[in-house]
């Protein structure tokens, strides 16, 4: 049976086009119920009479039909293994797919779980449930009608099946069908049509055996909330936003909240180099980090400057009443900023509407209400950029000292904080497994186990190299190839060799694991690797991009094992000039896998004269020439404070922490990896001018260098940033005889001025834009780490296709598809970096728990109310607050408040009496861990030297406290109990 669907569409030229489509209706689509006597049934997914759920609203067996809004808003409820026998209409499934791809994916996983008994009913093609769109009926109203029609048909159909004497004799109650919808209009119409109907909230609250499921309900509003006065301006409607954007009265961009000041943020807009500054609670107007927002630019006379103040929100409870202190903080900050010098002011605006929310699930802890036996609580996210969230939960006592996950549902004008609901608990606060899970979730790192489908594409073990494989590859097993990596490395991507040729020249080879041989394009393994994008390294933990069988076994170039490789081989003279190069797939057998330290020891030990020692010495001498050549071309030597942990193998807690050491062998490996990457980039860009995967590092805007130039100028140095070469030379000159760490700090500041390096497709940019600023390379890509970077797999495939070692395929040459992959890789790479830093911070806190140490450090920045201090020994950076805490609980802090620091905006210094703090000044600080805020444990920096009476701590082994103060340890415990 078929019907015709007719609709009209307006063309670009304004013509009206009538479109007629055939729509087939069938009478053989089963209802999926084991109660039915008439339909053909699919036994895999069927509604059964075995799962009876007790509801005080519907005290009889029933199936559930879901409305679209219930799926979109209550997915966390649906994911709980409570609701069974659910009818999923294709109308609903298609609407969910159209409105939210992430929820559609989660909903599909529930549907495919056979234990849950979710049955997809193809109502759009069933002759009794198809609803044709009526004249003047909106698509939404038509879909609502289709859902009601299907629910009514199901109820009638099942009652007919149960209307028999045999069923009556069984004594069972008749199974009915209940429609769940949160749309008031749809609910009213359903009731008028005689359909059993309820809201999702009412239904969940009626479930007698699952009282805690209420916590997972999406909270759009709280009871009695409408009585509260508005705290924020109203948002413009989408129609008003589009009108404003069209007439250029508004601009659109991505909102980024500040980590350091909860009353400040920035909107990234293409036409504004530094974005648009947003300050003050009303101007922020309920935007959450990541939201796409509409901004109204303020008149230039009202522009402001970014705040130098570090401001954290504290003393927050679920009463939702703004305290006078918080109002004072906001007024004080805005007054200071209005007085900022004109030259420091930047474009400033206010958020007037939300184009698209980017809400996700957030990790954090519950802060209980001060009111006993209340269900309303404040959730404090782990990410400081996210506001507190109001939730309702009946299990607050059980969730104390637990890391939990919460999602945002709405943010009404009359609520200081957004409303959300509890999703799940992750585990005990402070537990290393739990805290690592928080880091991975907060940085959106895919870390679930590889699925059976993905694992099915791995080679079957035992795996061996066949004669056919040897015939297709260059046999390099006899060469003295070795690898040099960090200690404990099991995913060895690269190996090197260097040997003398009969003509007196040298042959140098870089051999990279041939991962693309095992991961074929388009299969589940390939898609999973592309989605993950990169391996993520936490302290003592690694989240692999590819399954361990490949990463640590078949692809890893371990010593003494035959492995597939992709080799780049050069002939060079002793001055490192490249005479020829070739690319080929090979079979290698690494003679030895060494650490950087072991390789360095072999190079330095003159008694070592073996083949490996000769190879390493040649490589080392060539690397030094290559590095000097790069430096002369303007490559930058940047710095970042990095530390390494020794981790307990059982508890996974840090035992020792130290700054990472850099040896010649680190640089040696780096130089040849850079050379291989550049050589491959040149080759694939020439072969595939439109679709080569490359990596660029844009030159930073001039204004990015302002903090660096100012900081150097205060120290009497002039930093020139017109070109990379001039910047490199300027950094080399920044040397102080009395401060050996000064040059490193200047380079750390220079690193923070840089842009993010990104992957791109060659056909999307002009050749002049290919430039890699940091490396001073005309063209660059990533080829040398395919075990841990998907970009390198893409490059391997391009290179293999260009030399005839592998076949090409459509997607490899599809620019648009590859651009989308590159965008994901850029995002995943950035998140992996942030996750790694968060892991270092976590382990640093673990290391300092229960310890106090006095360490030498340097002032990195001078702020209005704090000094940013760097500790070279540990590569740590922290804040030494100069403004006392108004909530100080002990005598020591009250004494501090009498000390007055004066900030000089001209030369960025802080003065207290005769003591003046400049950037890069040496200081001695006492490091300890403040655990009073269990959510955000932080390292506390207290000044030891220079000594300021009433502010600095004493240099004795015990911290001096007033007579009436408790000893530190006891005070801390007492304080914790109060919390």
The domain limits of the chain are 29-213, 238-314+342-356, 361-429, 452-694+762-834, 700-754, 849-885+900-945
* CATH 2.40.50.690 corresponds to the domain 238-314+342-356: yes
pLDDT in tens, 571-606: 999 999 999 999 999 999 999 999 989 999 998 888
Would you put residue 905 in left (φ > 0), alpha (ψ -120 to 50) or beta?
Answer: alpha
Class of residue 55 by CB neighbours under 10 A (exposed 0-12, middle 13-18, buried 19+)? buried
Q: Which of 751-760, 799-808, 857-866 has the lowest mean pLDDT?
A: 857-866
Q: What would the 3-class secondary structure string for 931-967 be?
A: CCCCCCCEEEEEEEECCCCCCCCCCCCCCCCCCCCCC
Higher pLDDT, 373 or 801: 801
Asked if omega into 376 is within 30° of 0 (cis), the reply is: no
Say what the pLDDT of residue 222 is: 59
Question: 305 to each of 274, 278, 335, 351, 452, how far by Cα in Å?
Answer: 12, 10, 11, 17, 54
Higher pLDDT, 224 or 260: 260
Mean pLDDT of 315-340: 56
- 848 has pLDDT over 60: yes
Lowest mean pLDDT among 71-75, 103-107, 748-752, 905-909: 905-909
State the pLDDT at residue 316: 55
- Would the pLDDT of 895 be above 50? no
Q: Does residue 8 register a pLDDT over 80?
A: no
Among 22-31, 823-832, 930-939, where is mean pLDDT lowest? 930-939
Which pLDDT score is estimated for 480? 92
As assigned by CATH, the class of the 849-885+900-945 domain is mainly beta
CA angle 476, 480, 481 (to 5 degrees): 75
Q: How big is the chain, counted in residues?
A: 979
Averaged pLDDT, 785-812: 92
- The least confident of 319-333, 412-426, 631-645, 721-735 is 319-333
Q: Which two tokens stand for residue 583?
A: 């690319």
Residue of 361, 475, 370, 466 lying closest to 423 (CA atoms): 361
Q: Whose CA is closest to 827, among 756, 751, 773, 761?
A: 756
| 154-173 average pLDDT score | 82
Q: Six-digit token pair at 539?
A: 């302290």
Question: How many C-beta atoms lie closer than 10 Å to residue 577's C-beta?
Answer: 12
pLDDT score recorded for residue 317: 52
* Residue 18: how many other CB atoms lie within 10 Å: 8
Residue 516 pLDDT > 70: yes
Residue 687 banded pLDDT, cuts 50, 70, 90: very high
pLDDT of residue 541: 87
* Percentage of residues in the chain having pLDDT higher than 90: 40
| Residue 692, phi then psi, degrees to nearest 5 | -75, 140
Lowest-pLDDT range, 30-44, 69-83, 394-408, 768-782? Answer: 30-44
Q: Which fold has domain 361-429?
A: OB fold (Dihydrolipoamide Acetyltransferase, E2P) (2.40.50)
Is 849-885+900-945 the same fold as 29-213? no
Residue 331, classified by CB atoms within 10 Å of its CB into exposed (0-12), middle (13-18) or buried (19+), is: exposed
Instruction: Over range 728-742, report the average pLDDT.
Output: 86
- Cβ 387 vs Cβ 418: under 8 Å: yes
Q: What is the token pair recorded at 666?
A: 């680190």
Beta bridge partners of 408: 420
How far is residue 533's CA from residue 848's CA, in Å, rounded to a whole number?
33
Please state the φ and ψ torsions of residue 584, each to the nearest 5 degrees: -160, 155
Architecture per CATH, domain 29-213, reads as 3-Layer(aba) Sandwich (3.40)
pLDDT value at 660 more than 50? yes
Nearest to 409 by CA among 236, 263, 266, 215: 215
Task: Classify burial at 95, counting beta carbons within 10 Å of its beta carbon; exposed 0-12, middle 13-18, buried 19 or more.
Answer: buried
Residues 6+ apart with CB under 8 A from 544: 491, 535, 551, 788
């Amino acid at each position: 049976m078929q019907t015709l669907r007719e609709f009209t569409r307006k063309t670009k030229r304004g013509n009206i086009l009538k479109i007629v489509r055939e729509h087939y209706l069938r009478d053989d689509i089963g209802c999926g119920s084991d109660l039915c006597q008439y339909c053909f049934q699919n036994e895999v997914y069927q509604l059964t009479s075995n799962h009876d759920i007790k509801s005080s609203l519907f005290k009889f067996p029933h199936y559930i039909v879901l409305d679209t809004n219930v799926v979109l808003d209550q997915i966390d409820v649906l994911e709980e293994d409570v609701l069974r026998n659910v009818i999923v209409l294709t109308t609903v499934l298609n609407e969910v797919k159209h409105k939210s791809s992430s929820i559609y994916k989660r909903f599909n996983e529930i549907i495919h779980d056979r234990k849950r008994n979710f049955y997809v009913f193809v109502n759009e093609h069933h002759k009794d449930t198809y609803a044709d769109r009526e004249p003047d009926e909106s698509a939404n109203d038509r879909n609502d009608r289709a859902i009601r029609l299907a629910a009514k048909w199901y109820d009638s159909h099942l009652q007919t099946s149960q209307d028999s004497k045999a069923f009556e004799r069984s004594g069972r109650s008749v199974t009915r069908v209940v429609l769940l919808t949160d749309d008031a209009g749809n609910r009213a119409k359903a009731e008028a049509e005689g359909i059993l109907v309820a809201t999702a909230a009412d239904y969940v609250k009626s479930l007698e055996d699952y009282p805690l499921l209420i916590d997972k309900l999406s909270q759009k509003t709280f009871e009695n909330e409408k009585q509260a006065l508005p705290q924020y301006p109203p948002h413009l409607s989408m129609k008003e936003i589009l009108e404003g954007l069209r007439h250029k009265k508004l601009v659109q961009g991505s909102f980024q909240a500040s980590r350091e000041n909860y009353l400040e943020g920035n909107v990234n807009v293409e036409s504004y180099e530094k974005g648009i500054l947003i300050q003050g609670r009303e101007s922020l107007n309920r935007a959450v980090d990541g939201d796409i927002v509409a901004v109204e630019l303020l008149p230039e006379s009202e522009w402001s400057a970014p705040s130098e103040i570090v401001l954290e929100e504290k003393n927050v409870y679920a009463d939702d009443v703004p305290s006078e202190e918080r109002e004072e903080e906001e007024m004080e900050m805005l007054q200071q900023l209005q007085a900022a010098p004109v030259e420091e002011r930047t474009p400033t605006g206010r958020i007037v509407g939300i184009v698209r929310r980017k809400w996700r699930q957030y990790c954090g802890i519950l802060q209980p209400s001060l009111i006993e036996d209340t269900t309303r609580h404040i959730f404090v996210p782990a990410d400081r950029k996210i506001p507190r969230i109001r939730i309702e939960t009946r299990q607050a006592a059980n969730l104390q000292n637990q890391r939990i996950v919460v999602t945002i549902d709405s943010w009404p004008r009359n609520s200081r904080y957004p409303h959300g609901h509890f999703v799940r608990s992750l585990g005990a606060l402070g537990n290393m497994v739990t805290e690592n899970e928080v880091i991975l979730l907060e940085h959106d790192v895919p870390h679930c186990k590889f699925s059976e489908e993905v694992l099915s594409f791995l080679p079957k073990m035992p795996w061996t190299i066949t004669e056919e494989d040897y015939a297709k590859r260059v046999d390099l097993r006899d060469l003295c190839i070795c690898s040099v990596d960090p200690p404990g490395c099991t995913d060895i991507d690269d190996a090197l060799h260097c040997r003398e040729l009969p003509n007196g020249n040298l042959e140098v080879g870089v051999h990279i694991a041939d991962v693309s041989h095992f991961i074929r394009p388009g299969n589940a393994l390939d898609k999973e690797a592309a989605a993950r994008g990169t391996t993520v390294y936490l302290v003592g933990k690694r989240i692999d991009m590819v399954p361990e069988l490949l990463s640590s076994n078949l692809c890893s170039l371990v010593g003494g094992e035959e492995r597939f490789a992709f080799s780049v081989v050069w002939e060079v003279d002793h001055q490192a000039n490249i005479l020829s190069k070739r690319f080929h797939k090979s079979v290698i057998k690494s003679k030895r896998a060494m650490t950087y330290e072991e390789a360095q020891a072999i190079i330095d030990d003159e008694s070592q004269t073996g083949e490996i020692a000769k190879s390493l010495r040649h490589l080392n001498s060539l690397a030094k020439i290559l590095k000097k050549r790069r430096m002369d071309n303007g490559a930058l030597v940047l710095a970042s404070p990095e530390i390494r942990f020794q981790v307990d193998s059982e508890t996974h807690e840090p035992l020792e922490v130290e700054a990472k050491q850099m040896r010649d062998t680190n640089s040696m490996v780096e130089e040849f990896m850079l050379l291989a990457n550049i050589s491959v980039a040149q080759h694939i860009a020439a072969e595939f001018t439109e679709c080569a995967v490359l990596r660029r590092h844009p030159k930073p805007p001039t204004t990015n260098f302002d903090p660096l130039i100012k900081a150097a100028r205060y120290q009497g140095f002039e930093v020139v940033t017109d070109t990379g070469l001039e910047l490199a030379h300027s950094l080399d000159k920044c040397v102080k005889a009395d401060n050996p760490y000064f040059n490193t700090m200047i380079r750390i500041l220079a690193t923070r001025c840089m842009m993010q390096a990104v992957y791109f497709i060659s056909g999307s940019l002009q050749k002049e834009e290919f430039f890699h600023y940091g490396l001073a390379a005309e063209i660059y890509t990533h080829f040398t780490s395919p075990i841990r970077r998907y970009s390198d797999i893409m490059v391997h495939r391009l290179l293999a296709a260009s030399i005839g070692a592998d076949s090409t395929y459509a997607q490899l040459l599809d620019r648009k598809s590859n651009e989308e992959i590159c965008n994901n890789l850029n995002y995943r790479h950035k998140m992996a970096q942030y996750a790694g830093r968060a892991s270092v911070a976590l382990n640093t806190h673990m290391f300092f728990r229960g310890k106090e140490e006095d360490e030498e450090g340097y002032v990195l920045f001078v702020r209005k109310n704090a000094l940013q201090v760097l500790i070279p020994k540990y590569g740590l950076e922290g804040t030494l607050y100069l403004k006392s805490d108004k909530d100080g609980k002990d005598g020591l802090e009250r004494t501090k408040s009498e000390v007055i620091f004066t900030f000089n905006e001209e030369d960025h210094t802080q003065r207290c009496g005769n003591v003046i703090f400049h950037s890069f000044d040496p200081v001695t600080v006492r490091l300890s861990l403040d655990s009073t805020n269990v959510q955000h444990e932080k390292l506390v920096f207290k000044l030891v030297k220079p000594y300021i009476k009433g502010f600095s701590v004493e240099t004795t082994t015990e911290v001096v406290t007033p007579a009436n103060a408790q000893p530190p340890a006891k005070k801390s415990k007492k304080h914790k109990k109060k919390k």
